[in-house]
Structure 1
Amino acid sequence: MKLLQMTDIHLTTPGQTIGGRDPNANFARALEHAMQRHADAEALFITGDLSDWGDAADYQLLKAQIADLPLPVHLCIGNHDDRPTLLEAFPELEGDRGFVQAVAPLSLGHAITLDTWGPESHAGHFCEGRADWLARQLTALPGPLWIFMHHNPVPLGIAPMDRIMLLNSARFAETVAPHRDKIAHIFHGHCHLPLSGSLRGIPFSAPRGTNHAGWPDFSAKRLLSAADLAEAYAVIFAEPFHTMVHMVEFGYDGEVRREGSPDYADWDRLTMVR
């Protein structure tokens, strides 16, 4: 099974930039890059911050950009989004108790998209209602299960980012832990950093994002840090007993070299390109 994850696309008013970059153009570039190389993917998941300011026009632009893609697109909500405005554009996303949460069948198990949005907050929220819904899905569905969400459920060790992580992370951990044997992977965004780790034995990962990039400044106390790194998305290969996640830096425009054969017999000090 092949899946795609894009995150933090931050669509905005045409002509406006974030970090000197055009998020609308970069999302279009990401889609073009992915469809040229990975049109055989089973689904695309976009894990939040669909809009930069939660404007209705941004969601209409998103709807137009994904309308003709040759694969299903599943959307998560992020802290930069506005839930009522998002649901006006995509009413089919409204789930139990009005949250943007859903289950999508895959050729290998099921994907679960979670709502970690809260009003007037950049931090993530996971209330009892959301926990109850997730617990019911985890109990009812056979594995493997793939969870997609916006906010990171584990602290980064970077003080400004940890202030806006999933605030109810203990509740989330307690909800997923009993089902660790059938949850294959958790995918998130929010941090604009390539991340990987585990939560109660469940692996998780995040790619950088399709526009602006973060930087892991572990000495930061108040402000977030950014860097001029290449825009990226994730390509996920999954089999019954293993998962591989690649971060593809589609924004890199430098040379890609062919540096030699993997066959040991071809390795030679005089001919190997190093």
Structure 2
Amino acid sequence: MKLIHLSDIHLTTAGASIGGRDPRANFQRALRHILNDHADAELMVITGDLSDWGDRDDYLWLKARLAEFPIKTRMCIGNHDRRATFLDVCPELAAPDGFVQGVYDSSAGRCVFLDTAQPDTHAGRYCATRQSWLEARLTEHAGPFLLFMHHNPMPTHLAPMDQIRLLDDAVFRQIVHRHRDRIRHIFFGHCHLPLAGSIAGVAATSLRGTNHASYPLFSETAMLSASDLPEAYGVAFFGADYVTVHMVEFGYTGAIRTEGSPDYAAWNRESMLR
């Protein structure tokens, strides 16, 4: 199975920019790039910060654009989103308790989409109601599972970023620990950084967004860090006994060379480009 992971698309009013970049234009560039290389993907998931300010027009535009997109798509919300506004536009993604949570059965396992947003803060929360919902979903089905969420559920060790991580991360990891043998992978966003690690023994990855990028500046202890690194999306491949995850920097505009044959016999000083 092939799955596309996008995060932090930060849509804004048409023509408006963030960091000198147009989020709507970059999102559409990402979609074109995905269709060119990955039209055979089974599912695309966007893990939050769909809108930069939670504006209704952003959600209406996104819903209309995705309705034309040939790959099935599911969404989570993030700290920049407004839950009530989003659900007014996409009521089909509401769980009975009012959070933006749900499941989807893919050929690689049951996908579980989590809502880690909390009003009036950039930090993530996963309250008792949401914890109970996740426990129920992981208990009622044999799995395997893929989890999708916005906030990072483990520390990055970047001081400003960790102030706005999932603040209930320890409790969340306890839930994951209880079901770790049936959770194949956890995908998250929020950090605008390529990250890989594990949560209670379960592999987890994140990536840059489709517009502006962060930078792991460990010497900065007060403010979040930004950079002009290329825009990106993720591609995950699931085999029977492995998961491979790529971050595709579709915003890169430099040369891409094809050089170096995989045939060892062709590796020599005369034929190799150096």
Question: Could you say whether these structures have the same fold, taking a TM-score greater than 0.5 normalized by the shorter chain as the test?
Answer: yes
Alignment match, 2:238: 238
Residue of structure 1 equivalent to 2:14: 14
Q: Distance in 2 between matches of 1:110 and 1:70?
A: 21
1:142 Cα deviation from its structure 2 partner: 1.9
The count of residues paired between Structure 1 and Structure 2 equals 274
Q: CA deviation at 1:35?
A: 1.0
Inter-partner Cα distance in structure 1 for 2:167 and 2:240: 32
Distance 1:240 1:96, change over 3 A: farther
Alignment of 1:37-48 (within 5 A): 37-48=37-48
* Paired amino acid for 1:30: A
Is residue 176–residue 199 contact of structure 2 (8 Å, CA) maintained in 1? Answer: no
Which residue identity lines up with residue 247 of structure 1 in the other structure? M
Note the residue ranges of structure 2 that are not aligned, 5 or more in a row. Answer: none
Residue matched to 1:34: 34
Q: How far has the Cα of 1:65 moved from its partner? A: 1.1
Report the equivalent of 2:70: 70
Give the match for residue 184 of structure 2.
184
| Alignment TM-score, normalising by the size of structure 2 | 0.99
What displacement does 1:68 show? 1.2
SS of residue matched to 2:124: coil
Secondary structure of 2:197 counterpart: strand
Q: Secondary structure at the match of 1:185?
A: strand
TM-score, normalized by length of structure 1? 0.99
Task: Output the amino acid matched with 2:49.
Answer: D
Matched, 1:137 2:137: yes
Where 2:5 maps in the other structure, the secondary structure is strand
Aligned residue number for residue 175 of structure 1 = 175
Match of 1:57 in 2: 57
Q: Is the 8 A contact 2:188 2:206 kept in 1?
A: yes
Indicate the residue corresponding to 2:223 in structure 1: 223
Alignment root-mean-square deviation, CA: 0.7
Corresponding residue SS for 1:98: coil
| C-alpha separation in 1, matches of 2:139 and 2:233 | 31
How many Å separate the matches in 2 of 1:51 and 1:43? 21
1:186-225 aligned within 5 A: 186-225=186-225
The amino acid that maps onto 1:242 is Y
Aligned mates of 2:135, 2:239 — CA distance in 1: 24
Letter in 2 for 1:95: A
1:96–1:175 CA distance, 2 compared to 1 (3 A): farther
Structure 1 segments unaligned to the other structure (5+ residues): none
Pairwise CA distance, 1:219? 1.3
Deviations along 1:204-259, one digit per CA (max 9) or x if unpaired, are 00111100000001111111111111100000000121000000000011111011
Between the aligned partners of 2:197 and 2:218, the Cα distance in structure 1 is 17
Deviation (angstroms), 1:96: 2.9
Distance apart, 1:108 and its partner CA? 2.0
Runs (4+) off by over 6 Å = none
Give, as a single letter, the amino acid of the residue that structure 2 aligns with 1:27. Answer: F
Distance 2:204 2:154 in 1: 9
Q: Distance in 2 between matches of 1:25 and 1:69?
A: 15
Residues 6, 46 of structure 1: 8 Å contact kept: yes
The one-letter amino acid of 1:31's match is L
Equivalent position amino acid for 2:226 in 1: A
Aligned to 1:257: 257
SS state at 1:181 partner: helix
Matched, 1:92 2:92: yes
Give the C-alpha shift of residue 34 in structure 1: 0.3
Matched residues in 1 for 2:86 and 2:161: separation? 25
Shifted more, 136-145 versus 245-254: the winner is 136-145
Counterpart of 2:181 in 1: which secondary structure? Answer: coil
Residue aligned with 2:35, SS = helix
Aligned to 1:153: 153
Q: Which residue of 2 aligns with 1:124?
A: 124
Asked if structure 2 preserves the Cα contact closer than 8 Å seen for 1:198 and 1:204, the reply is yes
Shift of 1:109: 1.4
Identity of aligned residues (%): 56
